[in-house]
Amino acid sequence: VVAPTLNGGRNVPRGIADAKQSSSTVCPSAIFTSDFGSGGAFLVREKALRSITEPGARPEGAVRSYLSSVVKALEELKVDHDNAKHLDDEIIAAIDNSRPIRDGYLEFIGRATGDLARYDLGNLLVEFLEQAASICQFRGTGSYREADFDGIRFAVMELFLYTVAWLLHRERYEVLDTILSETYVVSSLGGEQRKRRYGTFWFPLESIEQYRNQRLKLRITSPVALLLKQRDPGTEVGFDSVKQVEFLLFLRHTFLGERGKRWKPRTLAYSNDPDFPSPLPLFHAAESPRRFRRLQAMLKVRDVAQLVASFEESYPTPESRYLKLGDWPISLVHLANMHELSAEKFGDAS
């Protein structure tokens, strides 16, 4: 993988996980997560998958049990800063060890989003995401560092992005609207209950984005984006889908004037050209009814004319139409294909 660098150039292809590893310790969660795809956890997932497709089955209980087992597995990804020579190495190890959890969940969500009846997938996913958000922060006693939870946070963020991507791919718009419109009640330090929107699943992950980047002199625009790219599952919904979802979440917050944390689309660092990036697929042929329905579901726009008008209102100045990632100012106009859509809006498609 060739990662975009901080100065806008390109660096030598190198994996973030294996770049100058300086710790040989194995994350304590390795044993747990390596067994996640087999044994008891495997049976829980298989039962959930069978319940989705078997005629006459009532999937809610099996699906809820499986999703609870995912949350418990994710909780094991917390690292112990007291025993870590380099905490970022332990966090990367935890993320590597989360792959069986991630892959099992992707198989589940791929199948679950293909089933249209018999159970309320939206509410089950809201319950799951709410539990997942609550394990991303310290809730107990004793000493801790924010970075101790960065392995969990990365894994939860990744699962959220793929959940949205699969729902969009399967055109499950009602379920999609449920999880994006929900107010999540998240438990925090001292038992306080806080209300959050979907932006709660975006995390700074400074132990990777800043500390590791500086310590290993990686000079990568976003090591988190590189991790997501390296972990592309190679299925019909992969890294490119996640990149598009991140951009849509970024636009949605502005278009709808939503409250709460704004989604910052790190993966756009992998645009082919920051000044003139290729339009993302849904925007490239927005006049297609099937593609536009997906934009409509995410951005709540009535037609192409309203899409253009919302973009122009949200980003009124030339400066506002660039997103800066590191030293890269990326053209939002080209990503959203506004240069073509605007012409069509005013009847000049030449």
Residue-wise pLDDT for 184-214, tens only, equals: 999 876 678 889 999 999 999 999 999 999 9
The strand pair at 184-187 and 193-196 is best described as: antiparallel
| Cβ count near 15 (within 10 Å) | 12
> Which band of pLDDT confidence, cut at 50, 70 and 90, is reported for residue 91?
very high
pLDDT digits (tens, 9 = 90+) for 137-152: 886 656 678 899 999 9
Element at 330 (helix H, strand E): strand 328-331
112 secondary structure, DSSP code? H
Q: Which residue has the tokens 């791919």?
A: 169
**Which residue blocks in 170-286 are alpha helix, DSSP H?**
173-181, 206, 213-215, 223-230, 239-255, 281-284
Q: Which residue has the tokens 């997906």?
A: 294
Q: According to the model, what pLDDT value does residue 183 have?
A: 96
Q: According to the model, what pLDDT value does residue 260 have?
A: 85
| Cβ count near 58 (within 10 Å) | 11
Contact in structure between 151 and 77 (CB atoms under 8 Å): yes
Buried b (16+ CB within 10 A) or exposed e, 327-341: ebebbbbbbbbbebb
Q: According to the model, what pLDDT value does residue 8 have?
A: 47
Q: According to the model, what pLDDT value does residue 142 have?
A: 61
Residue 25 pLDDT greater than 60, yes or no = no
Q: According to the model, what pLDDT value does residue 3 have?
A: 65
Contact in structure between 127 and 65 (CB atoms under 8 Å): no
CA separation, residue 149 to residues 163, 189, 242 (Å): 21, 13, 22
Q: According to the model, what pLDDT value does residue 30 have?
A: 37
CA separation, residue 78 to residues 111, 134, 332 (Å): 29, 13, 36
331 Rama class: left (phi>0) / alpha (psi -120 to 50) / beta? beta
Q: According to the model, what pLDDT value does residue 144 have?
A: 74
Buried b (16+ CB within 10 A) or exposed e, 124-136: bbbebbbbbbbbb
> Which band of pLDDT confidence, cut at 50, 70 and 90, is reported for residue 321?
very high
pLDDT digits (tens, 9 = 90+) for 150-178: 999 999 999 999 999 999 999 999 999 99
Q: How many residues does the chain have?
A: 350
Lowest mean pLDDT among 75-84, 170-179, 221-230, 295-304: 75-84
3-class SS at 325? strand
Distance CA 155, CA 77 (A): 9
3-class SS at 5? strand
Residue 32 pLDDT greater than 70, yes or no = no
Buried b (16+ CB within 10 A) or exposed e, 270-308: bbeebeebebbebbeebeeeeebebbbbbbebeebeebb
Q: What are the tokens at 324? A: 């800066």
**pLDDT (average), residues 318-341:** 93
pLDDT digits (tens, 9 = 90+) for 98-140: 999 999 999 999 999 987 666 899 999 999 999 999 999 886 6
> Which band of pLDDT confidence, cut at 50, 70 and 90, is reported for residue 5?
low
pLDDT digits (tens, 9 = 90+) for 44-55: 999 999 998 888
pLDDT digits (tens, 9 = 90+) for 238-289: 999 999 999 999 999 999 999 889 999 999 999 988 889 999 999 998 988 9
Q: According to the model, what pLDDT value does residue 19 have?
A: 45
Q: What are the tokens at 202? A: 């975006």
Q: According to the model, what pLDDT value does residue 54 have?
A: 84
220 secondary structure, DSSP code? B
320 secondary structure, DSSP code? G
Residue 181 pLDDT greater than 50, yes or no = yes
What residues contact 171, with CB distance under 8 A and at least 6 apart? 293, 294
More confident call, 273 vs 230: 230
Highest average pLDDT, of 222-231, 280-289, 335-344, comes from: 222-231
Contact in structure between 181 and 249 (CB atoms under 8 Å): no
Nearest to 59 by CA among 70, 73, 48: 48
Element at 47 (helix H, strand E): helix 39-53
Q: Which residue has the tokens 């890294």?
A: 239
Q: What are the tokens at 25? A: 């310790």
